[in-house]
Structure 1
Amino acid sequence: MIVEDQAILAMELEMVLGDAGYRVVGCAMDQASAFAIAEREAPELALVDVNLLDGLTGPDLAARLVQDSGIAVIFLTANPEQIPDGYAGALGAVSKPFDEQTIQDAVAFAARFRSTGRVGEVPRRLRPAPWLATLGRADI
């Protein structure tokens, strides 16, 4: 699922992910639309912008997606300073602007983490959430 209020960027992300073999179950521009897609489609991953049409709601959205539905979240943001200290349960953040390879690497990282529970190698342009360090060296 893509949660991004810039329609052109959301379409570009959808194309990049589709070309990489991922199925995008929906795009949302605000918190309410994102919750509706999450409930209907049960995505495994959400790429979430911090600032959405309804304001600085990305962190609250991320926390609820992780806590209520177990959806992995990666923030996409031009304002990394607005991400809460604990990353609201998200796996990490990618700063805008980014390229196709960065998105593909971040999504692959999230997929590996979901399937193994291990951190492994963190992509170069993904800032991992601080809570991942608590998993210990055996999980890295």
Structure 2
Amino acid sequence: MLRLARPVFRRRHLFPGQLIWREFLAQSEPIGHWGVGLSAIGHKVVNGSGQPWGSRVAHLPDLRVMIVEDQALLAMELELILADSGCDVVGCAMDRAGAFAIAERDRPDLAFIDVNLLDGVTGPQIARRLVAEQGTAVVFLTANLEQIPDGFSGALGAVSKPFDEQTIRAVVQFARQFILHRTVGDAPRRFRLAPWLTTPPEDIAPH
């Protein structure tokens, strides 16, 4: 079984990927829907550098992150990258109801939200509520940037699909700087910066 180089606490008995499978199975879709057997879990997984996932994480996760994505394999890939980037992935939802339940339970610092979900183009609605009610920083995931409202619903920006490990790592670092230090760094490649961040208020609060 894959083991991360990080302390085990709370839900850390779940290795990267297992949390996603549990969340998705709990949300009614059978595993065969994605054409992948449970044997896929437990295999040795390596990152883009050929190292085991988690091998570069030597400190406690400093961001609680949730994923809102209705494609299980894509969500699993994203969770692996986030865990290897020092994030605590608290849950994954496939639709608006699931997203709100996880957000209320775990109060994430950051959310990666697909725009088009099982219940329609509800990503912007989820983002707007998380930003307004919990101050969560949001990053959209989408293959169609035209589906994002002009104001980005308070999100920091959007990552174009298909994404890669380097882009997600850079976006995590961008979001970490914003969340922990309230400053805006250089926008990573393949990351569409929200227009409101180019002329932010003094406290750079999402709006």
How does the TM-score come out when normalised to structure 2? 0.64
Q: 1:56 aligns with which of 105, 108, 121?
A: 121
Aligned to 2:25: none
| Partner amino acid, structure 2, of 1:57 | T
How much does 1:135 deviate?
Answer: 2.3
RMSD, matched Cα = 1.2
Larger CA deviation: 116-125 vs 80-89: 116-125
- Contact persistence 2:85–2:172 (CA under 8 A): no
- The residue aligned with 2:176 is 111
Higher relative contact order (CA 8 A, sep 6+): 1
What is the CA–CA distance in structure 1 between the aligned matches of 2:188 and 2:194, rounded to whole Å?
13
**1:121 matched to 2:196:** no
Please identify, of 14-23 and 83-92, the stretch whose mean Cα deviation from structure 2 is larger.
14-23
Deviations 1:33-60 (A, max 9, x none): 0000000000100000000000000001
**Where does structure 1 lack aligned partners over 5 or more consecutive residues?**
none
Quote the residue 2:106 is aligned against: 41
Give the Cα separation in 1 of the matches to 2:95 and 2:87.
22
Structure with bigger helix share is 1
Larger mean Cα displacement after TM superposition, 91-100 or 116-125: 116-125
Task: Provide the secondary structure at the position in 2 that maps to 1:112.
Answer: helix
Identical pairs, percent = 67
Within a 5 Å distance, the mapping from 1:64-79 to structure 2 comes to: 64-79=129-144
Length, aligned pairs only: 137
